[in-house]
């Protein structure tokens, strides 16, 4: 599994902390920007979204001020299930039930201690499958119809 990560200017400092943790844990990570200068979050969300959609074993991490813009934009990419998470329960259950493939976080709404734990939980929780398979398939079906 490779981790694709991106942020806008508001998320840059938190991204550096997340990156440091992932590298320390020996994850393979690719940073798709930004470099700290002003950036438009839809552009970064599209880059990470396309990478994750093209590589189903991979996961993505997107950080902006609130995490909201990143999640709205990333979910426009077919195959992306991006979840905005601000609490441990959501980070765990969006993997168990939604098979989310991207976690979005707000650097202006979360402390970095919580954010790092959310990433850890997200990356280490498997999809539960079973009755949730059908619901995820329904979302995929929507992508083909609307």
- Could you give the 3-state DSSP secondary structure of residue 104? strand
Q: Is 36 in the site for ligand RB5 (CB under 6 A)?
A: no
Closest CA to 131 of 84, 89, 97: 97
Q: Which is nearer to ligand RB5, 7 or 91 (CB)?
A: 7
Q: Is 46 in the site for ligand RB5 (CB under 6 A)?
A: no
Q: How many residues does the chain have?
A: 146
- Residue 142 CB contacts under 8 Å (≥ 6 apart), including other chains: none
Catalytic residue among 9, 88, 97, 132: 97
Q: Which is nearer to ligand RB5, 60 or 69 (CB)?
A: 69
Tokens of 74: 């990333």
Choices 44-52, 63-71, 87-95, 119-127 (CB under 6 A): range interacting with ligand RB5: 63-71
> Is residue 64 flagged as an active site residue?
yes
């Amino acid at each position: 599994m490779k981790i694709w990560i991106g942020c806008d200017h508001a998320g840059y400092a938190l991204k550096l902390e997340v990156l440091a943790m992932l590298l320390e844990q020996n994850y393979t990570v690719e940073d798709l920007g930004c470099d700290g200068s002003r950036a438009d979050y839809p552009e970064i969300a599209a880059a990470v979204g396309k990478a994750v959609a093209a590589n189903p074993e991979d996961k993505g991490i997107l950080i902006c001020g609130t995490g909201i813009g990143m999640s709205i934009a990333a979910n426009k990419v077919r195959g992306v299930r991006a979840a905005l998470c601000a609490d441990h329960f959501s980070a765990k259950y969006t993997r168990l039930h939604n098979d989310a493939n991207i976690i979005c976080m707000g650097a202006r709404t979360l402390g970095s201690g919580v954010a790092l734990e959310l990433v850890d939980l997200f990356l280490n929780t498997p999809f539960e499958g079973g009755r949730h398979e059908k619901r995820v398939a329904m979302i995929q079906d929507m992508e083909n119809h609307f």
